[in-house]
A and B are shown apart, each in its own frame.
Chain A
Amino acid sequence: MWLTLRVWERPRILSAAALGAALGLLALVRATNLMLLVFCLLVGVERRNDLLRRVRSLLGHLDLVSVGAGVFLLVLMPQAAYWYRITRALLVDPYREQGQYLDLFHPHLEGVLFSVSKGLFFWTPLLILAVAGLPLLLRTARTVFVSAVVYLAVAVWVVASWSIWSYGYSFGMRALIDELPVFALGLAALIETVRV
């Protein structure tokens, strides 16, 4: 998140490369973490016009985009090489043989967010406060409001679309752990608003 803000504020090769490396590491941890790209692209977008400006900015910095993408691929290479060595394929979906799949048209939103079994808000009720604080970002940190809300909506939708939405033996909704830093923005906004 910090690198994203830095790249948009001061577009430089070093920060673009660092962001590419960070995204590569995130993808190695869990491929769906690449949803964070939504956050990266929307940080600073407050109105519809900002979106157009953002696209123009990206097209104007294709050199930096290429550097970031190159470093991103470089970080992924050891994993791809390992997969190729043992399976003769560069990309492997280890869940396919287990019959698990992503179905984006039938998300289990109620189960992922509210169920007793694994519901995010049932097992981690602090996040109710975090979500309540998201609209307050409009007052405390306007530049991350759209990116945070859209990213969390996309992430929850994708996580809820996994066929085994309870994600097996674990405590709470473990598939949304990677989203906690963005939830924290909402909680921070709530604390900041009450503190002032």
Chain B
Amino acid sequence: MIARRLLIAAIALTTLIAVQGMYADWHYLIPGDGTTLHQRLESFEHWPG
């Protein structure tokens, strides 16, 4: 049961990270090529909605 919950949480978290990344990319919050770690971390300040 714990493994199941952990997997669901991992799937949700990794999907959320990717979706936020797509949002950041779509809104030009990160460059289309050569993104730096600083730019990526900063983009987490922005979320859809």
Which A residues touch B33, using CB under 8 A?
117-118, 166, 168-170
In the complex, whether A44 has a CB less than 8 A from a CB of chain B is no
Binary CB contact string for chain B from 25 to 38 against chain A (1 if under 8 A, 0 otherwise):
10000001111110
The complex places the Cα of A171 from the Cα of B35 at a distance, in Å, of 10
- Kindly provide the distance from the CB of A189 to the nearest chain B CB, expressed in whole angstroms: 12
Residue pair A166, B25 in contact (C-beta under 8 Å): no
**For chain A, what secondary structure do more than half of its interface residues adopt (helix, strand, loop), or is it mixed?**
loop
Residues of B16-49 contacting chain A, CB below 8 A:
17-18, 21-22, 25, 32-37, 40
Query: Contacts A116-B37, A126-B11, A126-B15 hold; do A194 and B3 have CB atoms under 8 A apart?
Result: yes
The complex places the Cα of A118 from the Cα of B34 at a distance, in Å, of 7
In the complex, whether A125 has a CB less than 8 A from a CB of chain B is yes
Contact of A126 among B3, B14, B32, B34 (CB under 8 A): B14
Give 12 A-B pairs besides A118-B33, A190-B7 with Cβ atoms closer than 8 angstroms.
Answer: A116-B36, A117-B34, A124-B14, A125-B13, A125-B18, A126-B14, A166-B34, A168-B32, A168-B33, A172-B21, A194-B7, A195-B4
* Closest CB pairs A-B (n = 7): A169-B32, A125-B14, A126-B14, A171-B25, A116-B37, A194-B7, A194-B3
